[in-house]
Amino acid sequence: MEIGDTLPTSGEQFIRRLKVSLLESRTMRLGAAWNLDLCSPFWRLYIQGRTGAWLMHRGERLPMGKSELWMVPAWVRFQTGLSREVVQDYIHFEVRGMPWGLLQSSFSRPVQLPSHPALMTVCRQWRRELQSGGNFSHLCWATVLANASVASLLSREVATAGGRFPWREEMVRIQPAMDCLQERIGSPASNQELAALCGMSEDHFIRQFRHGVGMTPARFGREHRIALAAEWLTSSDRTLEDIAAAAGFTDRFHFSQVFKAGLGQAPGAYRRMHRREFAALGGDDLRRTVRE
């Protein structure tokens, strides 16, 4: 920061920490195998070429109409299904820096995005590039669309709050502790260590953390380690024992208990379900992924 610059607002600080990273951009022909029970550490965007596909969330069936843009935030458990074959364009992406409390309170279900002209213009351009086979071009527009979709949801949150930034300034003061919990995976820091990083007494730090994040430091760290483990389960062939150790759990049994309590599925079942999803999507791959 240069001399004379004003201090960033809490909203500016939030946006600086928010990072959206593209994982996949594809067109797929979906069939009967798209009958899945999913909960993922990444976000999803879906758009269909015609009616016939639906999502199920907590017993509510959500039909996806033709050319409707649907978003499923990270860690939302949902089911999928079809009444007929559908061609689907989709994007998978990560969002780093999103407060867990905000994710749970405001982004806790699949949502149809508004048909905002700017957003839909980006969406149409992405789909045109995807269908034309321009690999780099469609990845660029997929990245723009992922960012624009997150921006659409965040701006709606601010509007709902009457124009006020709805994330507490306490998060700025406890950010060093959050960074530490996310970096020290194998040996989580104690509350005393975290409080010292933030220049607070232990009791005051715990109160500030709960108020700012909506959970205890221990739970925040545990949820982050579960998120990493889920990512490793879906993106690697590492053994459960290796993942348990890398994510800071005492053993495979402890890891399985905590993981199932958090996501509703044991690690092995979670991995098998996501491999079923990839097999269902990969059966008729019309466009390569960004990882390739």
User: 182-232, pLDDT tens digit by residue?
Assistant: 888 878 889 999 999 999 999 999 998 887 777 899 988 888 888 889 888
Query: What residue type is assigned to position 291 of the chain?
Result: R
The Cα angle at residue 53 between residues 19 and 131, in degrees rounded to 5: 60
Greater confidence, 207 or 163? 207
Backbone angles phi and psi of 53, in degrees to 5: -100, 150
How many DSSP H helices and E strands does the chain contain? 11, 9
Average pLDDT, the chain: 85
Q: Minimal CA–CA distance to 175: which of 141, 199, 154, 157?
A: 199
How big is the chain by its Cα radius of gyration, in Å?
A: 20
Phi and psi for 124 in degrees, rounded to 5? -65, -40
CB atoms closer than 10 angstroms to residue 118: 10
Whether the CB-CB separation of 69 and 119 falls below 8 Å is answered with yes
CA 204 to chain centre: 30
Pick the CATH number of 170-274 from 3.30.565.10, 2.60.40.10, 3.40.50.300, 1.10.10.60: 1.10.10.60
Going by C-alpha positions, the residue among 2, 11, 14 that lies closest to residue 175 is: 14
The percent of residues in the chain predicted with pLDDT above 90, rounded, is 44
The 3-state DSSP class for residue 20 equals strand
* Structural contact between residues 126 and 144, judged by C-beta atoms closer than 8 angstroms: yes
Q: Tally the C-alpha atoms within 13 A of residue 34's C-alpha that lie toward its C-beta.
A: 22
10-163: which CATH topology? Answer: Jelly Rolls (2.60.120)
Name the residue ranges covered by the structural domains of the chain: 10-163, 170-274
Strand ranges of the sheet holding 53-57, from the earlier edge strand across to the other edge: 37-38, 78-82, 53-57, 60-64
Which pLDDT score is estimated for 281? 65
For the entire predicted model, the pTM comes to 0.77
Question: Would the pLDDT of 121 be above 90?
Answer: yes
Euclidean distance between CA atoms 274 and 276, whole angstroms: 5
How much is the pLDDT for 286? 37
State the average pLDDT over residues 59-82: 94
